[in-house]
Amino acid sequence: MRAYAAEFFGTFWLVLGGCGSAVLAAAFPEVGIGLHGVSLAFGLTVLTMAYAIGHISGCHLNPAVSIGLWAGGRFEAGKLVPYIAAQVVGGIAAGGVLYLIATGKPGFELGGFASNGFGEHSPGGYSLQAALLCEVVMTAFFLFVILGATDGRAPAGFAPIAIGLCLTLIHLISIPVTNTSVNPARSTGVAVFVGGWAIEQLWAFWVAPIVGAVIGAVAYRAVGSRD
């Protein structure tokens, strides 16, 4: 139960910190943090939580990561459902807190609320095919880095830095395409408050990250195997 609680709080922090930076601070007048700041915010949520709860739950914070770690032989299948449930509930709880904060500003308009999308709901107008490919590739490399950085042969103590910077880089690349998911819990956490199109397109941000995570895990097992 401690591990599940850690995943809840960790995913809460990721969604509140990452999506919160996009909703509250990205375009704030004169001192907005923009795309670069949002990218860094997502990376910092993972980096900080990796040090805080990595020794408790492994700090997955992401259903795709949990599934990828299972595919990579690093996680038990029996823990997948409760881990994913804790992550999704944590993401939705963070979305709720963010909604309450954001609506405290007079004249606030919900808009996309940092939801992920494709087509007309992609920040850059990218197609479904482009969005799926982007999410698959980005998540595959995310898992590749996670598995490599946490390998017993890697330098000890530096994995959170590598993983956090990898997520930052992923956002720098892909925010214009999909608003960057690579994490179904992050996508779900804000989509439920937008409803409509965000829920209709949510399937893509479950399917593509999970497929990418499995590909990344298989690739690392092929390259990084001790055999």
Q: What is the pLDDT of residues 110-168, one digit of tens each?
A: 989 999 999 999 999 999 999 999 999 999 999 999 999 999 899 888 999 999 999 99
User: Residue 189 in contact with residue 91, Cβ under 8 Å?
Assistant: yes
Token pair belonging to 141: 């490399």
pLDDT attached to residue 31: 72
Whose tokens are 């449930």? That residue is: 85
Reply yes or no on whether the pLDDT at 35 is more than 80.
Answer: yes
Give per-residue burial for 119-157: e unless 16+ CB within 10 Å, then b. eebbbeebeeebbbebbbbbbbbbbbbbbbbbeeeeeee
Reply yes or no on whether the pLDDT at 225 is more than 90.
Answer: no
The CA–CA distances, whole Å, from 80 to 1, 62, 91, 166, 213 equal 13, 11, 16, 23, 14
In angstroms, the CA 81 to CA 206 distance is 15
Reported pTM = 0.94
Q: Residues for the chain: how many in total?
A: 227
Q: Which DSSP helix (H) or strand (E) runs through 52?
A: helix 34-57
The CA–CA distances, whole Å, from 74 to 79, 104, 172 equal 12, 43, 28
